[in-house]
Amino acid sequence: MGLLEFGSPIRCFASILEEIRNPGIQISVDDFGTGYSSLSYIKDLPIDTLKVDQSFVKDIHTNKESKEIARAIINLAKSIGLTVIADGIERKEHVDELIKDGYILGQGYFFSRPLKVGAFEDFMTSIHVAS
């Protein structure tokens, strides 16, 4: 007996993700656009968020191909109701390029280096006070 006799592996994985997702946990595909990520993931899996790989963000302000790939991923995700997070934002120019497409979620050293719990709490408090 092979695995496919019980259903496709992607369908089995999708049902596991759906069980995890039911209590309110969101599912993200990291490093989208590289490696093993695939368009079939966003079609066949119950996901909420795509994270644009940093390889497209790092030179988005100088490289037309990176800019267009990031834009395509953002537009695709938005068109099917997914949230998008840009990974690897390190410069104001990255933010400026991403904002042009109406994109506002991101992570990277531009915002902060990784922080320990206490430092993170202080950081979040200072942001809230400054807002």
Higher pLDDT, residue 36 or 16:
16
Strand order through the sheet with 83-87: 28-32, 49-52, 83-87, 106-107
Collapsing DSSP states into helix, strand and coil, what is residue 108?
A: coil
DSSP 8-state class, residue 111? T
Is residue 11's pLDDT more than 80? no
| Cβ 69 vs Cβ 89: under 8 Å | no
At 33 the pLDDT is 76
Give 130's pLDDT tier (boundaries 50, 70, 90).
Answer: low
Alpha-carbon distance of 98 to 89, in angstroms, equals 10
At 48 the pLDDT is 92
At 53 the pLDDT is 92
Helical axes 92-100 vs 64-79, angle rounded to 10°: 50
Is residue 54's pLDDT more than 60? yes
* pTM of the complete model: 0.75
Vertex 47, ends 52 and 21: CA angle to 5°? 135
Other beta carbons within 10 Å of 72: 13
